Structure 1
Amino acid sequence: MSGSTVFTPGVITPQAGQPLRQFRCILAPGIWYYDRWEETTNPPEAYKFLISNAQREILIWDPYINPQDIDFFINIPQDVSVKGLTCFGSRSRKEQELISRSRIASRDWNFHINVKYYDKSIDGGDNSDPFHDRYLFVDERVFMVGASIGHHHQRLSTNAIVEIIDSNARALVRHRFDKCWNHSYTKNLFSFEGGVFIP
Protein backbone atom coordinates (compact mmCIF):
# COMPACT_ATOMS: atom_id res chain seq x y z
CA MET A 1 0.00 0.00 0.00
CA SER A 2 1.47 3.34 -1.03
CA GLY A 3 2.66 5.53 1.81
CA SER A 4 2.02 2.94 4.54
CA THR A 5 4.40 1.20 6.88
CA VAL A 6 3.94 -2.13 8.63
CA PHE A 7 4.84 -2.06 12.32
CA THR A 8 5.50 -5.42 13.92
CA PRO A 9 5.28 -6.05 17.68
CA GLY A 10 8.39 -4.83 19.41
CA VAL A 11 9.00 -1.92 17.03
CA ILE A 12 8.36 1.27 18.97
CA THR A 13 7.77 4.43 16.94
CA PRO A 14 7.57 7.49 19.21
CA GLN A 15 5.81 10.65 18.12
CA ALA A 16 7.74 13.90 18.09
CA GLY A 17 8.79 14.99 21.56
CA GLN A 18 7.57 11.81 23.27
CA PRO A 19 9.97 9.41 24.99
CA LEU A 20 10.10 5.78 23.96
CA ARG A 21 7.43 3.56 25.53
CA GLN A 22 5.72 6.50 27.25
CA PHE A 23 2.36 4.85 26.61
CA ARG A 24 3.59 1.24 26.98
CA CYS A 25 2.38 0.51 23.48
CA ILE A 26 3.43 0.40 19.86
CA LEU A 27 2.99 3.81 18.25
CA ALA A 28 2.30 4.60 14.62
CA PRO A 29 0.61 7.68 13.12
CA GLY A 30 -2.95 7.75 14.45
CA ILE A 31 -2.81 4.50 16.43
CA TRP A 32 -1.76 3.35 19.88
CA TYR A 33 -1.45 -0.45 19.91
CA TYR A 34 -1.09 -2.22 23.24
CA ASP A 35 0.36 -5.71 22.90
CA ARG A 36 -0.37 -7.93 25.88
CA TRP A 37 2.48 -10.26 24.95
CA GLU A 38 4.95 -7.42 24.56
CA GLU A 39 4.04 -5.95 27.96
CA THR A 40 4.11 -8.92 30.31
CA THR A 41 3.27 -6.98 33.49
CA ASN A 42 2.39 -3.33 32.80
CA PRO A 43 -1.08 -2.00 31.95
CA PRO A 44 -1.63 0.28 28.94
CA GLU A 45 -1.39 4.04 29.47
CA ALA A 46 -2.62 5.70 26.27
CA TYR A 47 -6.25 6.10 27.42
CA LYS A 48 -5.13 7.64 30.70
CA PHE A 49 -2.81 9.99 28.85
CA LEU A 50 -5.59 11.15 26.51
CA ILE A 51 -8.15 11.91 29.23
CA SER A 52 -5.57 13.50 31.53
CA ASN A 53 -4.69 16.02 28.82
CA ALA A 54 -8.25 17.16 28.07
CA GLN A 55 -8.77 20.92 28.19
CA ARG A 56 -12.53 21.27 27.87
CA GLU A 57 -14.61 18.16 27.27
CA ILE A 58 -14.49 14.36 27.43
CA LEU A 59 -17.19 12.06 26.08
CA ILE A 60 -16.95 8.35 26.88
CA TRP A 61 -19.21 6.08 24.81
CA ASP A 62 -18.74 2.58 26.14
CA PRO A 63 -21.33 -0.20 26.60
CA TYR A 64 -19.35 -1.62 29.53
CA ILE A 65 -18.55 1.02 32.12
CA ASN A 66 -18.10 -0.97 35.30
CA PRO A 67 -17.95 0.12 38.96
CA GLN A 68 -14.19 -0.49 39.22
CA ASP A 69 -13.63 1.83 36.25
CA ILE A 70 -14.80 4.85 38.25
CA ASP A 71 -11.47 5.04 40.08
CA PHE A 72 -9.83 5.65 36.69
CA PHE A 73 -11.62 9.01 36.42
CA ILE A 74 -9.25 10.53 38.99
CA ASN A 75 -6.98 11.22 35.98
CA ILE A 76 -9.46 13.76 34.54
CA PRO A 77 -8.25 17.38 34.91
CA GLN A 78 -10.00 20.02 36.98
CA ASP A 79 -13.01 21.82 35.47
CA VAL A 80 -13.29 19.49 32.46
CA SER A 81 -16.86 18.55 31.51
CA VAL A 82 -17.42 14.79 31.17
CA LYS A 83 -20.27 12.80 29.67
CA GLY A 84 -20.36 9.04 29.96
CA LEU A 85 -22.81 6.87 28.03
CA THR A 86 -23.18 3.17 28.73
CA CYS A 87 -25.98 0.59 28.63
CA PHE A 88 -27.56 -2.09 30.77
CA GLY A 89 -30.97 -3.31 31.85
CA SER A 90 -33.02 -1.30 34.31
CA ARG A 91 -32.82 -4.03 36.94
CA SER A 92 -29.06 -4.38 36.66
CA ARG A 93 -27.18 -4.63 39.94
CA LYS A 94 -24.37 -2.76 38.21
CA GLU A 95 -26.52 0.37 38.22
CA GLN A 96 -26.52 0.64 42.00
CA GLU A 97 -22.88 -0.41 42.27
CA LEU A 98 -21.88 2.35 39.86
CA ILE A 99 -23.79 4.95 41.85
CA SER A 100 -22.34 3.79 45.18
CA ARG A 101 -18.76 3.72 43.96
CA SER A 102 -19.11 7.05 42.16
CA ARG A 103 -20.51 8.73 45.26
CA ILE A 104 -17.41 7.73 47.21
CA ALA A 105 -14.97 8.59 44.41
CA SER A 106 -16.55 12.01 43.84
CA ARG A 107 -14.95 13.27 47.07
CA ASP A 108 -11.71 13.56 45.07
CA TRP A 109 -13.20 14.91 41.82
CA ASN A 110 -12.60 18.44 40.56
CA PHE A 111 -14.49 18.07 37.29
CA HIS A 112 -18.12 17.96 36.15
CA ILE A 113 -19.61 14.65 35.06
CA ASN A 114 -22.95 13.29 33.89
CA VAL A 115 -23.32 9.56 33.25
CA LYS A 116 -26.33 8.11 31.47
CA TYR A 117 -27.32 4.61 30.47
CA TYR A 118 -29.39 3.36 27.57
CA ASP A 119 -31.98 1.04 29.11
CA LYS A 120 -31.74 -2.00 26.88
CA SER A 121 -34.48 -3.79 28.83
CA ILE A 122 -36.92 -1.48 27.03
CA ASP A 123 -35.37 -1.99 23.61
CA GLY A 124 -35.50 -5.71 22.82
CA GLY A 125 -34.73 -7.06 26.27
CA ASP A 126 -31.63 -7.33 28.44
CA ASN A 127 -29.84 -9.54 25.91
CA SER A 128 -29.90 -6.88 23.20
CA ASP A 129 -26.99 -4.47 22.70
CA PRO A 130 -28.03 -1.07 21.33
CA PHE A 131 -24.40 -0.13 20.62
CA HIS A 132 -21.14 -2.01 20.56
CA ASP A 133 -18.19 0.11 19.44
CA ARG A 134 -16.34 2.23 21.98
CA TYR A 135 -15.47 5.86 21.33
CA LEU A 136 -13.56 8.49 23.25
CA PHE A 137 -13.98 12.21 22.49
CA VAL A 138 -11.32 14.51 23.90
CA ASP A 139 -11.98 18.16 23.05
CA GLU A 140 -12.00 18.21 19.22
CA ARG A 141 -10.39 14.79 18.79
CA VAL A 142 -12.29 11.52 18.36
CA PHE A 143 -10.91 8.03 18.94
CA MET A 144 -12.27 4.56 18.26
CA VAL A 145 -11.29 2.38 21.19
CA GLY A 146 -10.80 -1.35 20.78
CA ALA A 147 -11.77 -2.38 24.30
CA SER A 148 -13.76 -1.02 27.22
CA ILE A 149 -12.28 1.14 29.97
CA GLY A 150 -11.43 -1.82 32.17
CA HIS A 151 -8.85 -2.94 29.60
CA HIS A 152 -7.06 0.41 29.85
CA HIS A 153 -6.11 0.39 33.50
CA GLN A 154 -5.36 -3.32 33.76
CA ARG A 155 -3.33 -5.73 31.67
CA LEU A 156 -6.25 -7.74 30.30
CA SER A 157 -5.96 -8.01 26.53
CA THR A 158 -4.32 -6.67 23.41
CA ASN A 159 -6.21 -3.63 22.11
CA ALA A 160 -5.79 -0.42 20.16
CA ILE A 161 -6.93 3.21 20.15
CA VAL A 162 -7.31 4.66 16.67
CA GLU A 163 -7.77 8.37 16.02
CA ILE A 164 -10.50 9.34 13.55
CA ILE A 165 -8.91 12.02 11.38
CA ASP A 166 -11.57 12.80 8.76
CA SER A 167 -13.80 15.68 9.89
CA ASN A 168 -16.93 14.17 8.34
CA ALA A 169 -16.31 10.89 10.14
CA ARG A 170 -15.83 12.73 13.44
CA ALA A 171 -19.06 14.64 12.87
CA LEU A 172 -20.94 11.42 12.09
CA VAL A 173 -19.81 9.70 15.30
CA ARG A 174 -20.63 12.79 17.38
CA HIS A 175 -24.08 12.99 15.77
CA ARG A 176 -24.79 9.34 16.65
CA PHE A 177 -23.55 9.87 20.20
CA ASP A 178 -25.85 12.87 20.64
CA LYS A 179 -28.79 10.94 19.21
CA CYS A 180 -28.29 8.08 21.67
CA TRP A 181 -27.60 10.50 24.55
CA ASN A 182 -30.94 12.23 23.96
CA HIS A 183 -32.94 9.08 23.20
CA SER A 184 -36.13 8.44 25.16
CA TYR A 185 -34.69 5.12 26.38
CA THR A 186 -31.60 6.83 27.80
CA LYS A 187 -31.79 7.61 31.51
CA ASN A 188 -29.67 9.57 33.97
CA LEU A 189 -27.47 7.44 36.18
CA PHE A 190 -25.70 10.17 38.16
CA SER A 191 -24.19 13.61 37.88
CA PHE A 192 -21.63 15.54 39.87
CA GLU A 193 -21.22 19.29 39.62
CA GLY A 194 -20.24 22.00 42.04
CA GLY A 195 -19.42 19.46 44.72
CA VAL A 196 -22.94 18.00 44.62
CA PHE A 197 -23.53 14.34 43.74
CA ILE A 198 -26.97 13.59 42.32
CA PRO A 199 -27.95 9.94 41.74
Structure 2
Amino acid sequence: MTQPRLRSNAIAALNSKYHRLALYGFLFIVVGHWAEHLVQAYQIYVLNWPRPQAGGVLGLWFPWLVKSEVMHYGYALVMLVGFVVLRHGFHGRARTWWNLALWIQVWHHFEHALLFLQSLTGQNLLGEAVPTSVLQMVFPRVELHLFYNAIVFAPMVVAMVLHRRPRLEDLIECTCAPNRTPASVG
Protein backbone atom coordinates (compact mmCIF):
# COMPACT_ATOMS: atom_id res chain seq x y z
CA MET A 1 0.00 0.00 0.00
CA THR A 2 1.41 3.42 -0.93
CA GLN A 3 1.89 6.33 1.49
CA PRO A 4 -0.90 8.52 0.00
CA ARG A 5 -3.33 5.57 0.14
CA LEU A 6 -2.42 4.91 3.80
CA ARG A 7 -2.88 8.58 4.67
CA SER A 8 -6.19 8.65 2.81
CA ASN A 9 -7.41 5.54 4.62
CA ALA A 10 -6.36 6.95 8.00
CA ILE A 11 -8.18 10.22 7.36
CA ALA A 12 -11.25 8.32 6.16
CA ALA A 13 -11.22 6.20 9.33
CA LEU A 14 -10.84 9.29 11.54
CA ASN A 15 -13.88 10.80 9.82
CA SER A 16 -16.06 7.70 9.98
CA LYS A 17 -15.74 4.81 12.43
CA TYR A 18 -13.22 6.62 14.68
CA HIS A 19 -14.71 10.11 14.30
CA ARG A 20 -16.24 10.29 17.77
CA LEU A 21 -13.02 9.08 19.39
CA ALA A 22 -10.93 11.48 17.28
CA LEU A 23 -13.22 14.41 18.17
CA TYR A 24 -13.02 13.61 21.89
CA GLY A 25 -9.23 13.32 21.66
CA PHE A 26 -9.06 16.65 19.85
CA LEU A 27 -11.44 18.21 22.38
CA PHE A 28 -9.23 16.93 25.22
CA ILE A 29 -6.20 18.66 23.67
CA VAL A 30 -8.13 21.90 23.13
CA VAL A 31 -9.62 21.95 26.64
CA GLY A 32 -6.21 21.21 28.16
CA HIS A 33 -4.69 24.16 26.36
CA TRP A 34 -7.67 26.37 27.17
CA ALA A 35 -7.31 25.40 30.87
CA GLU A 36 -3.64 26.44 30.79
CA HIS A 37 -4.64 29.92 29.58
CA LEU A 38 -7.37 30.17 32.22
CA VAL A 39 -4.93 29.17 34.98
CA GLN A 40 -2.46 31.76 33.69
CA ALA A 41 -5.16 34.46 33.82
CA TYR A 42 -6.10 33.32 37.34
CA GLN A 43 -2.46 33.59 38.39
CA ILE A 44 -2.30 37.15 37.06
CA TYR A 45 -5.71 38.55 38.04
CA VAL A 46 -6.58 36.64 41.22
CA LEU A 47 -3.22 35.66 42.70
CA ASN A 48 -1.55 38.90 41.50
CA TRP A 49 1.50 37.09 40.16
CA PRO A 50 3.80 39.08 37.89
CA ARG A 51 3.15 38.20 34.23
CA PRO A 52 6.60 36.63 33.67
CA GLN A 53 5.93 34.16 36.52
CA ALA A 54 2.36 33.35 35.46
CA GLY A 55 2.84 30.41 33.12
CA GLY A 56 -0.15 28.24 33.86
CA VAL A 57 0.22 24.76 35.31
CA LEU A 58 2.95 23.68 32.86
CA GLY A 59 4.89 26.84 33.65
CA LEU A 60 5.22 25.78 37.28
CA TRP A 61 7.25 22.71 36.31
CA PHE A 62 8.62 23.67 32.90
CA PRO A 63 8.99 27.48 32.75
CA TRP A 64 11.49 27.21 29.89
CA LEU A 65 8.95 25.25 27.82
CA VAL A 66 6.16 27.78 28.33
CA LYS A 67 8.48 30.63 27.32
CA SER A 68 9.45 28.74 24.16
CA GLU A 69 7.76 29.77 20.92
CA VAL A 70 8.33 26.20 19.71
CA MET A 71 5.69 24.82 22.08
CA HIS A 72 3.16 27.54 21.22
CA TYR A 73 3.71 27.16 17.49
CA GLY A 74 3.53 23.37 17.77
CA TYR A 75 0.20 23.60 19.53
CA ALA A 76 -1.17 26.05 16.92
CA LEU A 77 -0.06 23.64 14.19
CA VAL A 78 -1.64 20.62 15.92
CA MET A 79 -4.88 22.60 16.20
CA LEU A 80 -4.80 23.56 12.53
CA VAL A 81 -4.10 20.00 11.41
CA GLY A 82 -6.85 18.69 13.69
CA PHE A 83 -9.39 21.09 12.23
CA VAL A 84 -8.40 20.22 8.65
CA VAL A 85 -8.27 16.44 9.14
CA LEU A 86 -11.50 16.14 11.15
CA ARG A 87 -13.39 18.56 8.87
CA HIS A 88 -14.32 15.79 6.43
CA GLY A 89 -16.66 14.19 8.97
CA PHE A 90 -18.84 17.29 9.34
CA HIS A 91 -21.83 18.17 7.17
CA GLY A 92 -24.52 20.83 6.96
CA ARG A 93 -24.72 23.38 9.76
CA ALA A 94 -22.08 21.55 11.78
CA ARG A 95 -19.59 21.91 8.92
CA THR A 96 -20.31 25.65 8.65
CA TRP A 97 -19.44 26.12 12.33
CA TRP A 98 -16.40 23.83 12.07
CA ASN A 99 -15.20 25.86 9.07
CA LEU A 100 -15.58 29.07 11.08
CA ALA A 101 -13.41 27.64 13.86
CA LEU A 102 -10.92 26.42 11.22
CA TRP A 103 -10.54 29.86 9.60
CA ILE A 104 -10.12 31.57 12.96
CA GLN A 105 -7.43 28.98 13.74
CA VAL A 106 -5.75 29.76 10.40
CA TRP A 107 -5.28 33.34 11.63
CA HIS A 108 -4.21 32.17 15.10
CA HIS A 109 -1.67 29.84 13.44
CA PHE A 110 -0.37 32.72 11.31
CA GLU A 111 0.18 34.81 14.44
CA HIS A 112 2.12 31.95 16.08
CA ALA A 113 4.12 31.33 12.90
CA LEU A 114 5.08 35.00 12.96
CA LEU A 115 6.16 34.73 16.61
CA PHE A 116 8.09 31.52 15.91
CA LEU A 117 9.87 33.07 12.92
CA GLN A 118 10.89 36.07 15.01
CA SER A 119 12.26 33.84 17.77
CA LEU A 120 14.26 31.83 15.21
CA THR A 121 15.75 34.84 13.44
CA GLY A 122 16.12 37.20 16.40
CA GLN A 123 14.47 39.90 14.27
CA ASN A 124 11.33 41.12 16.02
CA LEU A 125 8.42 42.83 14.35
CA LEU A 126 8.85 46.62 14.12
CA GLY A 127 11.92 46.47 16.36
CA GLU A 128 9.98 45.29 19.41
CA ALA A 129 12.02 43.93 22.35
CA VAL A 130 10.36 40.51 22.18
CA PRO A 131 8.64 38.49 19.43
CA THR A 132 5.32 40.21 18.77
CA SER A 133 2.27 39.16 16.76
CA VAL A 134 0.19 41.57 14.70
CA LEU A 135 -2.68 41.97 17.17
CA GLN A 136 -0.30 41.82 20.12
CA MET A 137 0.76 45.32 19.12
CA VAL A 138 -2.71 46.41 20.26
CA PHE A 139 -3.65 43.84 22.94
CA PRO A 140 -1.55 42.27 25.72
CA ARG A 141 -0.43 38.72 24.87
CA VAL A 142 -2.18 36.88 27.73
CA GLU A 143 -5.54 38.51 27.04
CA LEU A 144 -5.13 38.16 23.27
CA HIS A 145 -4.52 34.42 23.49
CA LEU A 146 -7.41 33.96 25.91
CA PHE A 147 -9.55 35.69 23.29
CA TYR A 148 -8.14 33.60 20.42
CA ASN A 149 -8.79 30.38 22.27
CA ALA A 150 -12.33 31.45 23.14
CA ILE A 151 -13.25 32.42 19.58
CA VAL A 152 -11.84 29.16 18.22
CA PHE A 153 -13.40 27.03 20.97
CA ALA A 154 -16.95 28.44 20.78
CA PRO A 155 -17.73 27.58 17.12
CA MET A 156 -15.88 24.27 17.54
CA VAL A 157 -18.24 23.28 20.37
CA VAL A 158 -21.29 24.46 18.41
CA ALA A 159 -20.12 22.32 15.46
CA MET A 160 -19.67 19.28 17.68
CA VAL A 161 -23.12 19.68 19.27
CA LEU A 162 -24.80 20.14 15.88
CA HIS A 163 -22.86 17.17 14.54
CA ARG A 164 -24.11 14.95 17.37
CA ARG A 165 -27.69 16.20 16.93
CA PRO A 166 -28.11 16.56 13.15
CA ARG A 167 -31.23 17.77 11.38
CA LEU A 168 -32.79 15.33 8.94
CA GLU A 169 -31.16 17.01 5.95
CA ASP A 170 -27.74 16.85 7.67
CA LEU A 171 -28.05 13.22 8.75
CA ILE A 172 -25.26 11.06 7.40
CA GLU A 173 -23.62 7.80 8.31
CA CYS A 174 -21.51 8.82 11.28
CA THR A 175 -20.89 7.03 14.54
CA CYS A 176 -20.92 10.36 16.41
CA ALA A 177 -24.68 10.93 16.35
CA PRO A 178 -26.37 8.80 19.03
CA ASN A 179 -28.42 6.10 17.27
CA ARG A 180 -27.87 8.15 14.12
CA THR A 181 -31.33 9.68 14.39
CA PRO A 182 -31.92 13.37 13.67
CA ALA A 183 -32.98 15.71 16.46
CA SER A 184 -35.87 16.99 14.35
CA VAL A 185 -37.48 13.53 14.17
CA GLY A 186 -37.23 12.24 17.67
Give the TM-score taking structure 2 as reference length: 0.24
Give 1 or 2 for the bigger CA radius of gyration: 2
Specify which structure has the higher proportion of strand: 1
Give the TM-score taking structure 1 as reference length: 0.23
